[in-house]
Amino acid sequence: MVGRLEGKVAVITGAGSGMGRSTAVLFAREGAHVAALDRNQDAAAATATTIQEAGGQATAIAVDIARSSSVQAARDAVLTTFGRVHVLINNAGIHDGFPALEETSEELWDRVINVDLKGTFLMTQQFAPHLREANGAIVNLSSGAGFRAGGGGVAYTAAKHGIVGITRATAAELGPSVRVNTVYPGPTMTEMTRTLMSEDELAAPVPVPMARFGTPEEVANVVLFLASDDASFVTGGAYAADGGWLG
Ligand SMILES: NC(=O)c1ccc[n+]([C@@H]2O[C@H](COP(=O)([O-])OP(=O)(O)OC[C@H]3O[C@@H](n4cnc5c(N)ncnc54)[C@H](O)[C@@H]3O)[C@@H](O)[C@H]2O)c1
């Protein structure tokens, strides 16, 4: 059977954990050559090894998406290894931990905005010329917090709203060659969620119509649709994988 990303080169940030890791594994199963990028080099390497052991193609590359020199080095490493890029998944992100406005330090604001928002911008800027050449696709991971309050503090909420803005601006600018879309997960069972919530909170009913946490694989399925040619007329949009949180 031919995969939905057969022969395509896919760059995935935050590929060492959670949704990034699930997306990397799914994309490789669909025939993609995966560049697994993460700040945590060991975690990225573990994802690449999992893919290779299953017969897929993957390379792990260390990057801090918040620093332009690191993003440029990662772009060079991807091009040296694969020669071209068809798909970029801007998935890496950090949460602010729900601090109140008055407790949001300037340092926390800068850290969250630099990773979640500036990181998405830097990656998009560096890879755009190569995605244009390949008539490629970008999928940016926002959040339910990109559309309403209650999914984080002010820094995380602002960053995730900003990702919707980056998506719209770049879809307009990079079309018709490159499609750009947002996926917004709701509460999903990953390391981020396990770190943020207490055991009691994790065990409590989840207040969404689906009444449970999503799995990273369920989010990856929506990312795959938008990255693949199945979504050939889909750009500038935002798609929920949130169990109905926003509904
Ligand atoms: N977990 C949820 O419930 C949830 C809900 C909505 C949106 N999201 C978003 O989905 C995306 C994935 O979240 P997750 O839950 O899988 O998170 P996770 O914490 O499990 O994984 C995030 C990965 O990103 C990497 N990373 C962090 N900062 C980085 C940087 N500066 N450079 C490169 N890599 C970096 C981490 O090392 C980690 O491997 C994030 O953008 C997050 O904000 C998560």
pLDDT (tens digit, 9 = 90+) per residue, 56-103?
999 999 999 999 999 999 999 999 999 999 999 999 999 999 999 999
184 is catalytic: no
How far is it, in rounded angstroms, from Cα 43 to Cα 81? 19
Helix (H) and strand (E) counts for the chain?
9, 7
Q: Which of these is catalytic: 156, 184, 213, 245?
A: 156
Round to the nearest angstrom and report the end-to-end CA distance of the chain.
Answer: 36
155-211 confidence digits (pLDDT tens): 999 999 999 999 999 999 999 999 999 999 999 999 999 999 999 999 999 999 999
19: pLDDT strictly greater than 80: yes
| pTM of the predicted protein model | 0.99
**If we measure between CA atoms, which residue out of 218, 219, 213, 223 comes closest to residue 245?**
213
Pairing relationship of beta strands 57-62 and 87-90 according to DSSP bridges = unpaired
- Is there an atom of ligand 1 within 6 Å of 94 CB? yes
Are the CB atoms for 139 and 171 separated by under 8 Å? no
Which numbered atom of ligand 1 lies nearest the CA of 22?
16
- Is there an atom of ligand 1 within 6 Å of 134 CB? no
How far is it, in rounded angstroms, from Cα 220 to Cα 23? 5
Pocket test for ligand 1, best of 190, 196, 202, 208 (most atoms within 8 A of CB): 190
> What topology does CATH give the domain 9-241?
Rossmann fold (3.40.50)
